Amino acid sequence: MGGSLFSSLQTALSALEAQQTVLGVTAHNVANANTPGYARQQVVLESVPAPVGIGLGTTPAVGGGVRVATVQRLTSSFLTQELWSSQAQIGAAQQQTQTLGQVQALLNEPSSTGLSTMLDAFWNSWQNLANDPQSMAARQQVLSAGDAVATGLSGLVGQTTQLQAGLNTQVSSDVRQINSLAGQVASLNGQIAVAAGTGQTASDLEDARDALVGKLSQLVPLRVSQNQDGEFNLTIGTVQLVAGTQTTKLLTKPSGAQGMLALSWSGGMPVSLDGGQLGATLDLRDTVLPSYLGQLNQLAQGVASAVNTQHAAGYDLSGKVTGLPFFVAKGGGTLDASTLEVNPTLVVAPNKLAAAGGPFQGPGDGANALAIGDLNGSAVVAGATSADFYAALVGQLGSETQAAQSSLTNLQNLQQGIQQQISQISGVSLDAEMTRMVQAQNAYAAAAKVSASVETMLSALLSMVQ
């Protein structure tokens, strides 16, 4: 063809079209400058080569202008994977921080209203009774201090159990969300594969899918791989949650006396989760909270059994050995922190409190009350005093919470770093877009100028013919 005027017009047209595309993509980028998860797009232009073998030997062939090779989506799959794996850890740390923080709030220590103060007041009330064994006021004080300890402990256990039930509800909502997100990823996989098959760009679909996988990886730790059709396969443990357009569903089933939900795959495979919000929720529900509940029960049983033994050995105000326990289990069940209460027989008859030590000598004998008060300094719970045992429990909770909090802070810092790196590659820079816009504008104007001069040349040619 060589360099005909008409072909120059064609070339100028291709430039106009290409620069329009550049401008369009720039507009798209600017519009999404603040869209979370948006990866900037870039028009890749290529020159149209001269047709081969058509030139007439003497005139060298001229290229045919410019065309849009592709619209590229700028991402780093390595960094995205890093982000997703950090998200699973953050999801776990957030759940731990939140739940342990709630337990801390329940214990309400150090304060003047926590269980430690109640325990101290309880032991001291016995010493007061020892000083004034015939005083009804001192007897009432012992009963109400005992009641404060019992209700304090059962309140703590009740609220912690509620927290556990709350986590159980969260397990079911997490599972619903995982199944729904997995379904959406599978459906996007299909659309992206179709787009790839027909040569279209699917950048915005890929952005959407990345965002979904991000949400998913906060809930469960995922391994993400991509097949040749551009579809994502998401694997948890050894099970493929999403394989192309297929999903495996997570199922929940109530189990045990408390109706705690157990997880299984729809194919019947066992579920193994190590991390993520769901993994942490399960761990908190099944291991961490039960451990604190167990320690509270240990405390209740240790204190109750020591006080009961000593109390049964004493003499009441009328000089009789009553053999009554001070603490009993509400409703006659197993004695633990949730059932602990002061023996109702004593509540209605405070003179039955065994303040006197045997053999009974008189109403001024407070030896047994003193012996009970002195249990304060005895190793009554797992080889420790009640105060030390409880302080250690609070200390342990503090350490665990602190560890979760600092790991959350570290992970958030790490994630912030990854986000910054991703933003370097995928983020929209308005300055860069403006520059590209001006370049496109100039190129467009120049191409238009070329068209205009070709047109002038053509008219000159035509006027020669006339």
Partner 1 sequence: MRVTDAMQGDLLRWDLQTVQGQMMNEQQQLATGHRIQVPSDDPVGTENVLQWQAALDQNTQDQANAKDAQAWLETGQSALQQAVTQVQRIRTLALEANQGTLTPQQLQSVAEQVSASQDALAQAAAARVGDSYIFSGDQTETQPFVLGTSGYTYAGGSGSVTRELVPGVQVAVNVNGGTVFGPVFAAVRQILGDLGKGNPGAVAGKDLTTLDSALNGLIGAEGQVGGILQQVTSGQSQLTATGVALQKLQAGTLDTDVTQAVVRLQQLQLSYQSALAVGAQLMRQTLADYLQ
Q: Which residues of this chain interact with partner 1, rule CB under 8 A?
A: 33-34, 100-101, 104-105, 107, 109-110, 116-117, 119-121, 123-124, 127-128, 130-132, 134-135, 361-365, 367, 370, 373-374, 376-377, 385, 387-388, 390-392, 394-399, 401-402, 405, 416, 419-420, 423-425, 427-431, 434-435, 438
Minimal distance in Å, beta carbon 394 to partner 1?
5
Per the CB < 8 A criterion, the answer to whether 132 and 355 are in contact is no
Residue type, 322: T
Q: Which helix (H) or strand (E) holds 61?
A: none
Nearer to partner 1, 269 or 434 (CB): 434
Minimal distance in Å, beta carbon 126 to partner 1?
9
Residue 51, phi then psi, degrees to nearest 5? -60, 135
For every residue of 387-437, DSSP letters joined together read HHHHHHHHHHHHHHHHHHHHHHHHHHHHHHHHHHHHHHHHSPPHHHHHHHH
Minimal distance in Å, beta carbon 26 to partner 1?
12
Minimal distance in Å, beta carbon 18 to partner 1?
22
Residue type, 368: N
119 exposure class (CB count in 10 Å sphere: 0-12, 13-18, 19+)? buried
Nearer to partner 1, 232 or 360 (CB): 360
Minimal distance in Å, beta carbon 271 to partner 1?
31
Minimal distance in Å, beta carbon 376 to partner 1?
6
Distances (CA, A) of 393 to 8, 382, 396, 453: 85, 12, 5, 87
Nearer to partner 1, 272 or 402 (CB): 402
Distance CA 401, CA 410 (A): 14
Nearer to partner 1, 105 or 464 (CB): 105
Structure tokens at 67: 């065309």
Nearer to partner 1, 15 or 107 (CB): 107
Nearer to partner 1, 169 or 402 (CB): 402
Nearer to partner 1, 97 or 168 (CB): 97
Pairing of strands 239-243, 232-236: antiparallel
Nearer to partner 1, 137 or 269 (CB): 137
In the chain, the N- to C-terminal Cα span, in Å, equals 26
Residue type, 458: L
For every residue of 285-327, DSSP letters joined together read IIIIHHHHHHHHHHHHHHHHHHHHHHHHHSB-TTS-B----SE
Nearer to partner 1, 349 or 432 (CB): 432
Minimal distance in Å, beta carbon 396 to partner 1?
8
Distance CA 382, CA 103 (A): 22
Residue 15, phi then psi, degrees to nearest 5? -65, -45
Residue type, 291: S
- The secondary structure of residue 284, as a DSSP letter, is I
**How many Cα atoms sit within 13 Å of 402 on the Cβ side?**
6
Q: Would you call 243 helix, strand, or coil by DSSP?
A: strand
Minimal distance in Å, beta carbon 200 to partner 1?
27
Nearer to partner 1, 168 or 310 (CB): 310
Nearer to partner 1, 35 or 345 (CB): 35
Minimal distance in Å, beta carbon 323 to partner 1?
21
Minimal distance in Å, beta carbon 129 to partner 1?
11
Minimal distance in Å, beta carbon 187 to partner 1?
28
Distance CA 244, CA 240 (A): 10
Which residue in 44, 45, 94 sits closest to 65, CA to CA? 45
